[in-house]
Each structure stands twice: as C-alpha cells, then as structure tokens.
Amino acid sequence: MSSDVEGSQSARHWIDGRWVEAGSRGESRNPATGEVIGSFVKAGADEARYAVSVAKRVFEESDWRLNRDLRARVLNAMADRFEARAEEIVEALALENGKIKPEARFEVSMAGPTLRFNAALALTDSGRAAQTDPVSLSVVIRQAAGVAGIIAPWNSPVALVLRSLGPALGAGATAVVNLPVLTAQTNALIAEVISQTPGLPTGVVNILIGGHESADVLVRSPDVPVISFTGSTKTGRQISANAAPGLKRLGLELGGKAPMIVFEDADLEIAEEKVMDALTVFAGQFCMTGSRLLVQDSIAKILRERLRRRFQQIKVGPAADPKSQMGPLITKANVTRVEGLVQDAVEAGANVVVRGGPITEGVLAAGAFYRPTLLEITDSKLPIVQQEIFGPVLTMQVFSSEGEAIELANDSEYGLSASVFTTDVDVALRVALAVESGTVWVNDWALLHNQSEEGGFKSSGQGRMRGLAVLDDFLEYKHISFSQGAACRLR
C-alpha cells in the first residue's frame, strides 16, 4: 500500500514482483460508519492480461513447478509471515469487512495452518508405478496444470484466498489472484505479506484488486487452465459457461442454505448456542451460515421461545466496540436487499417471531447494520427458504418425523453444509448419510479442518477446497509407459 493525501491508504496490485498502480480509482469505506478509509485502483482487462503473461512465463521458465522443496519452504515461510502480522491483519479486516474482533481473529488464525498443510502436501503428493508385464513399466505422475486463476470473495478474504492459493502453490502452479474491491485495503495487506515471503520467486504470485472485468479475463484466457472460485452460485454458473469453451478445470465453492436439524432428544443448550453462532457469525455473510432451522414438533415451542429471547438480546455494533456481538453487513445496499427479501416473506405469509431489520436511528444508522430476524415458515417453496440470503435471517420449520426432517433438509438446490442435533448416534448417522451435503456436523457447526475435504453437493459447487483432495484441481495426471529396455525386464 502507498499513502495518499491526508494519510489514507492507496491499495494497488502486486504483479511480477512490483506494485502496479493502474486502473480506475475508487474509495474504501468502513461499513460500520460509512467513512472513507482509503483508496484503491481497480484492475481491468489490461492488468489481468499482464498478470497472466507474467504467471505463464514464470511457470514455463522457472523450476517452481519441479522444485518441491522450494515450494514447501516458501509455504512455511509465508505462514510465518502471516502469523507475524496477524494482529495487523485482524485490525484491517475488522475495519473494512466489519467482522467483530474475535471473528476476524478466528479467520486470520486459519492462515498459518492452511499454508503449512499445503507445504506438507507439496512434499508428500505422489504418483505410482507398476510393472505391467515382463518388459513394460508404467509410471503415473502428477504435474502442475499451469497458471491458476484464483477468484476470492469479500466475506472472508484472508482465509478464502489462502484456501485456494495454498494448494495451487503446493501443486506447483503459478497464480493470478483476483481480490474484490470491497476489501481492497485488506487485499493490499495480504499482497504485502505475500510479497515479503522469503524465497518466493518473482512472478509466481500476482495479485489484482478487481471485479468482473479482470476476473473474466482469467476465466476466458487460454493461458489459465485452472480456475478456483469461491462465491455465489449465480456467478459460479456464469464462470462455468464462460470457461466451457476452454474445457478448464474448475474448483467451485458456491452458495449454501445450511439446515440445522434439531431432534427432540437434542441437548437444547448446545443446539441453541450453535444455532445462534451459525446465524450471527460474520453477520450471516457466510456460505455455511445456518439459515434454516428444522425443529421437531415436540420441542418447537421451547426452542422458539429460547431463540426469541436470544435474538432480542444480541448486541449489534461496530468491531471497534468490544461489547459488539455481531457486526454490520458489508454495504447499505446489502441491507436494503436483505430487508426486501424479509418483507416479501412476511407478505407471503411468514410468521414473524423476531422482526429485526435495518438500524435507522442513533449512531449506528450511519452504518450497514441489520438486526437478526427469525421467521417461522410452513411453505418450503418461499424464496426466503430457497434463496441464499447472506444476512442474519433465520427461517424455522417444524417436522414430526425423521423422514420429514430429511425431506425438508434436502428440499433445496444447495448442499454445502448441514448440522444434526441429537443424542442418538444411530439417528445422527442415518440423517448424516441421507442429507445431501458435502459436510454434516453432529451437535456442532463450522468445525473445519485442513485435513478434511470441504465442498458442496448439487448447486453448491464442485471439487474440494481442503483435505487430501485439495491439490487435485491444480494437477494433471500423466502416464509414462516404458517398454523393452533393460530396466523393465524381470531378472
């Protein structure tokens, strides 16, 4: 970053080992106050094409793709750099993204482990070999696919960009990263930390602050064989269509509409706490937000009243206030969008349990604050149930049987994550197996491990962003067959 007038920060791109200040200029704002906190340059097609040309040249001319030891050292060193500057990143994230400090700290804490896990994969990933007959030997190796185009969202920019960049680098790819303008100041700090990583060859990582125009260059470029995208299902579909002519590899983690299924034998203390966290963490701006509560009829009244009380007690406020329990949405435009969806649902017959909504009075009125809302629903086809809201709005539906709970949970185009609350291990396993979701937590929510695969069923995406499968999006398999030579003959 560089300083503009009056001490504000100008966020720039990092391309080929240098800061690039090219593109249209915009302003960064604090969503809690609406105040300008800095400026940025937004990449267009030219900046994106330049970054792709750099990444392609470095991939072809350097030994990065072949040098596992170098990649592991760099990823471990990058982890050290993120950890050394963690508190600085937390402050930037809280100011620009709106997360309260504990949530920002949680996100940033994921950086080091993610990078170190992929450093280990860089050293341990392997192919296989087999003597197929007395005079033939088959060797299967995994090679880096080339330049990876990484398109990350604004809601968790630190964790989600490294979730894609870590395996890309571990696999031996070079990268062009497109980060959104809504977190431009945080993005520039991420780029600065990466730029200071000891041993990272110039041009292996190139970072743009951009939008649709620069991202579309990555999606359509014949020199970018891999796209790793985290974002909405609508955008994921568009990326898939635009990438189809090039038959690109696509790793997509898309939208979610996570059901939280609470059976009558559940520990309600645990269920209540997890449902509250699942809705309010990141102010509901999370693909794994628990936005659909499915509760068994015998305990529905009890849980409804407990949640009503908790919703009304949530302290909404800026990250700068240590008493805040939930921060703002990212923009006032998002507040208007969420409020419109809630109004439509109420007009369509949703029963209001807690009517939160925009804060329009007092000091918080200047920010993008939205109080949590709880609506009881009988019609699963309402848009409030079927659409990803990306805000703190919880719908509640009542079921009577295990089969009905599974049917309600699966009545969605999404399948990213789900939670099941029960003390009966047989019920937990049956329901977990039957729910169409890439991750199912039992008596918990958002418990993420680098060593466990993460990704979606149905319209929630394709590929996996963590676990042992995480390198797959960035690698090609190559079969090499040896015949006749002395090395192939049995002795």
Active site residues: 253, 287
CA angle 155, 31, 417 (to 5 degrees): 25
Cβ neighbourhood burial of 407 (10 Å; 0-12, 13-18, 19+)? middle
Tell me the C-alpha distance between 99 and 93, whole Å. Answer: 7
Which residue, chain included where needed, has tokens 């966290």?
277
Q: Phi, psi at residue 248, to the nearest 5°? A: -75, 155
The first and second tokens of residue 191, run together, are: 């780029």
DSSP H helices in 221-316 = 233-243, 268-280, 300-313
The first and second tokens of residue 460, run together, are: 């929630």
The first and second tokens of residue 301, run together, are: 């009244």
Distance of CA 144 to CAs 39, 60, 175, 204, 414, Å? 36, 11, 11, 13, 31
Q: Which residues pair with 398 in a beta bridge?
A: 295
Q: Collapsing DSSP states into helix, strand and coil, what is residue 421?
A: strand
The amino acid occupying position 436 is: E
The amino acid occupying position 351 is: N
Tell me the C-alpha distance between 115 and 96, whole Å. Answer: 24
Cα dihedral angle (359, 364, 369, 373), rounded to 10 degrees? -40
Cβ neighbourhood burial of 109 (10 Å; 0-12, 13-18, 19+)? middle
Tell me the C-alpha distance between 437 and 414, whole Å. Answer: 8
Q: Phi, psi at residue 256, to the nearest 5°? A: -145, 160
CA angle 180, 229, 385 (to 5 degrees): 90
Residue 144 CB contacts under 8 Å (≥ 6 apart), including other chains: 59, 65, 171, 172, 173, 474, 475, 476
For residue 459, the tally of other CB atoms under 10 A from its CB is 21
Count of residues in the chain: 491
